[in-house]
């Protein structure tokens, strides 16, 4: 186990941050000691504390966005949109908690009441990803804090500096240091955190493989909440499109934003065989115009590098494997600078590949599949163990109704990209994409549990059945 975690810029390889690995048991113990006082505060108190956090992030917007851009490699303009999402999450989560977990009292017999209220779980562990190192863990942490939980947050070992600044903002806003704890470390520290007896649940965003391992681990702990937000092998069906240029723009946005490092990125483009020519030409023209450069380049790039060399190497291996199986490149996946993890956007026809792997290619590779009719398009779209996002571009309202009714996914769009899901709606998938714990607006559901109480100001009770007559008791004794 390494004593320090070092973060480097994907664009340059330069070191930007380092810190000592933490102790999961100690962080959980600190959070557990601080939790009761935080939970005892009123909901309005906790919401106001989180509003101060939003203002703290707002005051650091430029600095924070610059750090995210440097640490992830994403363009600076995109990092700024991530900061905006962090800020907006507070009000969205407050509204969601009030709507999803309201206190209610119902009339019952003899003047008694039935009360429904919610309690926090206690200490929740949060494991964050590297692609949105502030926004995605924040989407767990803010709802958890509003509900009255304490949090131990382990950021990805690839983006620890962003995680550290996020926690610093919580503390600067006056949220007690014991209530939000930062655990620096790699996979071993993550496993140690997940195995702590002192946590009451774990909220995870990351790969399907890691999610499955956590699901197996938590199978023997049904008393702990587990919320999994995993990846996808997402289909985008383009059918009877009207505006070719707009369709091409949505395809490019779906496949290549964040260098394809989004769980909702389109991985498979499904088109009608023989009718795809003009659309493919329009997509290729846009691909050829995409600027791939470092985060602060001018003009601003559409794509930066992948997170690190290992990620770029792995994606290239998967791409070459498809070529070996018979795929035909329309635009190749090239490595402009061998020593850095930059990759160019790729479009590849995999129609003739019989044994296409059902996996999430986490990068700028879009696989095109030609099919004969719309029924075949739906069959192809559903040919996956995942079920996160799916889009239909084109078609009539009736065709979309058919698409919506038959597609297996938690996010289904029409004439919209696969990515860019709204935060004021639930977000989650089925199959290998999650465990039916949708996040975003529905995060309140897994951050608190309902408690039902039957209440009366006066004790009233009598047993009406199953007792002997008192007179019989007297006679028996005589």
* Catalytically active residues, by annotation: 229, 263
Whole-number Å distance between alpha carbons of 29 and 172:
22
**Phi, psi (5° rounding) for residue 433?**
-90, -5
Whole-number Å distance between alpha carbons of 418 and 414:
9
**Is 103:115 a contact under the CB 8 Å cutoff?**
yes
**Is 3:183 a contact under the CB 8 Å cutoff?**
no
Instruction: Compute the Cα dihedral for 145, 149, 150, 152 and give only its sign.
Output: negative
Give how far the C-alpha of residue 398 lies from the chain's centroid of Cα atoms, to the nearest Å: 31
**Is 162:182 a contact under the CB 8 Å cutoff?**
no
**Is 93:146 a contact under the CB 8 Å cutoff?**
yes
* 468-to-272, 462, 471, 472, 477 alpha-carbon distances in Å: 80, 14, 8, 7, 13
Radius of gyration, CA atoms only, the chain: 26
For residue 4, give both structure tokens. Answer: 């320090």
| 3-state secondary structure at position 178 | coil
**Is 301:292 a contact under the CB 8 Å cutoff?**
yes
Instruction: Compute the Cα dihedral for 126, 75, 73, 390 and give only its sign.
Output: positive
Whole-number Å distance between alpha carbons of 226 and 199:
11
Whole-number Å distance between alpha carbons of 394 and 114:
50
The residue assigned the tokens 């206190």 is 103
Reported residue count of the chain is: 478
Q: What's the CA dihedral at 234, 238, 244, 246 to 10 degrees?
A: -40
If you write DSSP's letter for every residue of 407-421 in order, what string do you get?
---SEEEESS-SS--
Q: Which residues contact 17 (CB under 8 A, 6 or more apart)?
A: 6, 7, 71, 160, 161, 164
**Is 304:11 a contact under the CB 8 Å cutoff?**
yes
Whole-number Å distance between alpha carbons of 333 and 161:
30
The residue among 182, 120, 121 whose CA lies nearest residue 156 is: 182
* 193-to-2, 150, 281, 439 alpha-carbon distances in Å: 16, 14, 49, 21
């Amino acid at each position: 186990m390494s004593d320090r975690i070092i973060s480097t810029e994907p664009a340059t390889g330069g070191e930007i941050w380092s810190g000592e690995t933490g102790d999961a048991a100690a962080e959980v113990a600190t959070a557990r000691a601080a939790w009761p006082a935080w939970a005892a505060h009123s909901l309005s108190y906790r919401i106001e504390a989180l509003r101060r956090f939003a203002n703290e992030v707002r005051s650091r917007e430029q600095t924070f966005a610059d750090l995210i851009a440097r640490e992830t490699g994403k363009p600076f303009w995109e990092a700024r949109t991530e900061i905006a999402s962090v800020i907006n999450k507070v009000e969205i989560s407050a509204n969601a908690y009030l709507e999803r977990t309201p206190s209610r009292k119902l009339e019952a017999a003899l003047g008694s009441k039935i009360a429904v209220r919610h309690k926090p779980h206690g200490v929740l562990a949060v494991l964050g990803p590297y692609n949105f190192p502030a926004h995605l863990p924040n989407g767990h942490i803010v709802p958890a804090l509003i509900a009255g939980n304490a949090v131990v947050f382990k950021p990805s070992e690839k983006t620890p500096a962003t995680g550290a600044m996020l926690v610093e903002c919580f503390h600067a806003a006056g949220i007690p240091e014991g209530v939000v704890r930062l655990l620096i470390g790699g996979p071993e520290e993550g496993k140690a955190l997940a195995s702590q007896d002192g946590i009451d649940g774990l909220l995870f965003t990351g790969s399907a493989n890691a999610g499955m391992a956590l699901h197996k681990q938590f199978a023997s702990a049904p008393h702990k909440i587990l919320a999994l937000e995993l990846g996808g092998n997402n289909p985008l069906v383009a059918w009877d499109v009207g505006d070719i240029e707009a369709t091409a723009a949505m395809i490019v946005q779906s496949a290549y934003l964040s260098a394809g490092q989004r769980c909702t990125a389109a991985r498979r483009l499904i088109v009608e065989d023989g009718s795809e020519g003009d659309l493919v030409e329009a997509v290729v023209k846009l691909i050829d115009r995409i600027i791939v450069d470092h985060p602060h380049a001018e003009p601003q790039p559409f794509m930066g590098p992948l997170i690190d060399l290992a990620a770029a190497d792995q994606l290239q291996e998967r791409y070459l494997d498809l070529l070996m199986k018979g795929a035909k490149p329309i635009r190749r996946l090239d490595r402009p600078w061998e020593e850095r993890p930059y990759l160019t956007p790729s479009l590849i026809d995999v129609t003739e590949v019989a044994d296409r792997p059902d996996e999430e290619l986490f990068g700028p590779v879009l696989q095109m599949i030609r099919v004969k009719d719309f029924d075949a398009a739906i069959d192809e779209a559903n040919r996956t163990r995942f079920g996160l996002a799916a889009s239909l571009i084109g078609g009539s309202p009736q065709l979309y109704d058919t698409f919506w009714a038959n597609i297996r996914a938690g996010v289904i769009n029409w004439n919209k990209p696969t990515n860019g899901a709204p935060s004021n709606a639930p977000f989650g998938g089925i199959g290998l994409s999650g465990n039916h714990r949708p996040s975003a607006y529905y995060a309140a559901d897994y951050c608190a549990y309902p408690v039902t109480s039957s209440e009366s100001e006066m004790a009233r009770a009598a047993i009406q059945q199953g007792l002997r007559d008192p007179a019989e008791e007297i006679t028996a004794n005589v």
